[in-house]
Amino acid sequence: MKLRMGLQARFLLLMGVALLVVLALVALLLNRQEQMRREVEGVSRQAMRTMIGQSLRRQGEATTTQLAATLTNPLYYSDLDAVGALARGTLRMPDVSYVIVFDEEGRVVHDGSEDIASYGKPMDDAMAAGVIAAKGLHTQFDDRVMDVSMPILIGQQRVGGVRVGYDMQAIRRFQEQAVDKLRARLDTLGQRHVIWVGLLGVGLLVFGALSLWLIQRLLVRPIRQLAESAQEIEAGHFDTVTPIDARNDEVGDLMRAFDRMSRSLARHDREIRRMAYTDALTGLANRLAFRESLDERLDQMHGAGRQLALLFADIDDFKRVNDTLGHDAGDEVLLQCARRIESAVARVGGEAALLARFGGDEFVILVQGADDPEEDVRGLATKLAETLVVDLGAPVDVQGRQVFLGTSIGITLFPEDAASGTSLMKNGDIAMYQAKVAGKNCFRFYSRAMNQAVERRVHLEQELRGAWDRGELSLVYQPVFRLVDGAMIGAEALLRWRHPELGFVAPSVFIDVAEQSGLIEILGPHVLHAACSDAVAWQKARQDPDPLFVAVNVSPRQLRSGDLPDVVSACLRDTGLTADLLHLELTETAVIGDELHASALLSELRGMGVRVWLDDFGTGFSGLSHLRRVPVDGVKIDRSFVADVLRDPDDLALTTAIIAMAHSLGILVVAEGVEKEGQYAILRERGCDFAQGYWLGHPVTAEEFLQLRR
């Protein structure tokens, strides 16, 4: 780990360095002052020595000069008593160590003593020669004495002289004492100085500590607080309170700016969360929000012995609304459905209910049982599902039309069906799918058997993948007749799947699987190719003046993929079938889903000579007016209408209207699912062009079909 040098540490370090510098300065100062004190002492000693020496000399010279003057007469008259008195008088003066009065030859006349032991002796000390030779006042020094001498003159005649010796050691002692006093004085001064310097040092230290404290308070602490807040925010805790400071300075500005910034961050975070957790269209919770709440609830539930139920509601055939009325109408319908579900949940769902839209037309509701037995939550879910089926079954008014929709609901229970959120969601989906399979507009509780149904579907898809290559898929042909003369004019190719283990699988089942898995895009061209070659074979077998057409079903997905015209033209080229003998059957939804794109493709196909039919006509939402905009050659009336033409006057009226309308647009009409003679008769009577159905002929293999034709 890299060692981090924080702001505070840096300040401490800085203060430490400053302290050291101050201490060094103080030490230097003290050292300088000691040196100075020593120098001052030396200089003073010198000065004092000089001064005392000079004053002593002046005093000695004055004394000696005066003594010489007073001695003139006594010496001249050889009055030894007077000389002695004067000499003794001088000798008594402080520091005088000797007084010698001498004659003109340098012999001692008197030395101030009583007996004058040296009387008449010539002076023979080291300084005597200088004294005798001197013509005036003469001063000499050696270590011990200062010798001041003065010749004694009468007129121009020298009668002798006088020497006064001063004791230098005594003087030096005096000097030392004076210097000692001076030193003592200097020492006191020095000590005072040290105290001052010490006080100054302490003052500096206090000042440093004070500034450190201030810096810490004013700068380091707020910055550290900011850094801590920033770290909190970085960690995602946007509600962290930033310390606010009313200070009117840059740091205050910074803290306030930081506070504003963190508030704005928190606001944006809330906004983003809101956006991430709500469905934009309905304002309900979305999948993410629901998933989180569900997991939370499950966490609380574990071991608490409580139950909950998930209801997966899917609006039936909602896609048709989008396809036929447009997406705006689709949104409108969804909104109305959402409001109905919301109100149903509020009325029946209980307090703890949660509602979310999972995108598209799927709504999920969570209901929670009280602490009562399990029956409670099952009952609650049942009641809510019943209410939803009824409420959503009521017509929806949109863009001035009434749209009839239903809802399929799958219900799964916790902890009965599964313990984890993921499994519960999967179960709910499966149960909902089963409600759809069961005929829509109803609800189903999840059961383990349903899982098997889903697994079967997955298995089916895997098996279907190689079915064509294994030769399990084949085509059967159902004849189509002209109603006016009852002539057979063509056949619709229908795909069959015989699986070695599963046996015969219904087209309604495997076509759906192929459609949803995308396999249809591989199967479709195979079917087209096979149907075209069979049609060519029929022609060759019977040199028919009126060759039969073959009608091939095309899935919405094939149309959407866009390369249908290329596939068709390649098929025609390869098999040699004439284009007008190929009819393509497209469902309404395939065409209406993307009208512009579809119209362009259909025009292109028709341009090649291929006929296009709208299959299962009447089951979608497209009005008859729709036919005007889509270029087709005819419509196939769905067998649900044909089934009831004899019983239901409404269906008859609608069938009649479709026939009339189609004819007015110049397109043909085929009736599907004719099972009874009566149906055939009435359709013929109403002017329907063609018909197919079990009464006319069941789907048969290509060979059987050829026999049939004969």
Residues in contact with Mg ion by the rule CB under 5 A: 553, 585, 615-616, 672
Q: Residue 360 to residues 364, 442, 514, 517: CA-CA distances in angstroms?
A: 12, 19, 22, 19
**Is the Cβ of residue 279 or residue 672 nearer to ligand C2E in the bound state?**
672
- For residue 303 the two structure tokens come to 């071991």
Cα–Cα dist 441/21, whole Å: 91
- Residue 186 binding partner per list ligand C2E, Mg ion, none, with a CB distance cut-off of 5 to 8 Å that depends on partner kind: none
Cα–Cα dist 140/133, whole Å: 13
Taking CB under 6 A as the criterion, the residue among 639, 669, 688, 691 binding ligand C2E is 639
Cα–Cα dist 178/48, whole Å: 8
**Is the Cβ of residue 369 or residue 699 nearer to ligand C2E in the bound state?**
699
Nearest-approach distance from CB 426 to ligand C2E, in angstroms: 29
The reply to whether 588 sits near ligand C2E by the rule CB under 6 A is no
Nearest-approach distance from CB 508 to ligand C2E, in angstroms: 5
The reply to whether 516 sits near ligand C2E by the rule CB under 6 A is no
Taking CB under 6 A as the criterion, the residue among 111, 147, 323, 615 binding ligand C2E is 615
Cα–Cα dist 344/130, whole Å: 146
The dihedral over CA atoms of 98, 99, 103, 107, expressed in degrees to the nearest 10, equals: -10
Taking CB under 6 A as the criterion, the residue among 106, 507, 565, 687 binding ligand C2E is 507
Nearest-approach distance from CB 466 to ligand C2E, in angstroms: 17
**Residue ranges in 465-504 that form contacts with ligand C2E under rule CB under 6 A:** 478, 494-495
CB of 282 closer than 8 Å to CB of 334? yes
The 3-state secondary structure of 559-571 reads HHHCCHHHHHHHH
Nearest-approach distance from CB 636 to Mg ion, in angstroms: 5
Q: How many residues bind ligand C2E (CB under 6 A)?
A: 22
Piece in contact with ligand C2E (CB under 6 A), picked from 3-11, 374-382, 593-601, 686-694: 686-694
Taking CB under 6 A as the criterion, the residue among 402, 508, 543, 625 binding ligand C2E is 508
Cα–Cα dist 504/490, whole Å: 26
Entry field: residues in the chain: 710
- Residue 478 binding partner per list Mg ion, ligand C2E, none, with a CB distance cut-off of 5 to 8 Å that depends on partner kind: ligand C2E
Q: Omega into 415 within 30° of 0, i.e. cis?
A: yes
Phi, psi angle pair for 121, to nearest 5°: -80, 140
**Is the Cβ of residue 539 or residue 619 nearer to ligand C2E in the bound state?**
619
Q: Interface mask (CB under 6 A) for ligand C2E, residues 526-555, using x and -?
A: -x-------------------------xxx
Cα–Cα dist 430/408, whole Å: 11
Nearest-approach distance from CB 562 to ligand C2E, in angstroms: 16
Nearest-approach distance from CB 438 to ligand C2E, in angstroms: 19
Q: Report angle CA 528, 533, 537 to the nearest 5 degrees.
A: 150
CB of 397 closer than 8 Å to CB of 355? no
**What DSSP designation does 285 have?**
B
**Is the Cβ of residue 384 or residue 674 nearer to ligand C2E in the bound state?**
674
- Residue 555 binding partner per list ligand C2E, Mg ion, none, with a CB distance cut-off of 5 to 8 Å that depends on partner kind: ligand C2E
Q: Compute how many other C-beta atoms are within 10 angstroms of the C-beta atom of residue 676.
A: 15
At residue 151, the 3 state secondary structure works out as strand
The reply to whether 616 sits near ligand C2E by the rule CB under 6 A is yes
| Residue, CB closest to Mg ion | 585
The 3-state secondary structure of 71-86 reads HHHHHHCCCHHHHHHH
Nearest-approach distance from CB 699 to ligand C2E, in angstroms: 5
CB of 262 closer than 8 Å to CB of 240? yes
**Is the Cβ of residue 125 or residue 675 nearer to ligand C2E in the bound state?**
675
> Where do we find the tokens 């149907």?
531
Give me the residues that bind ligand C2E (CB under 6 A), please.
478, 494-495, 507-508, 511, 527, 553-555, 585, 615-616, 639, 672-675, 692-694, 699
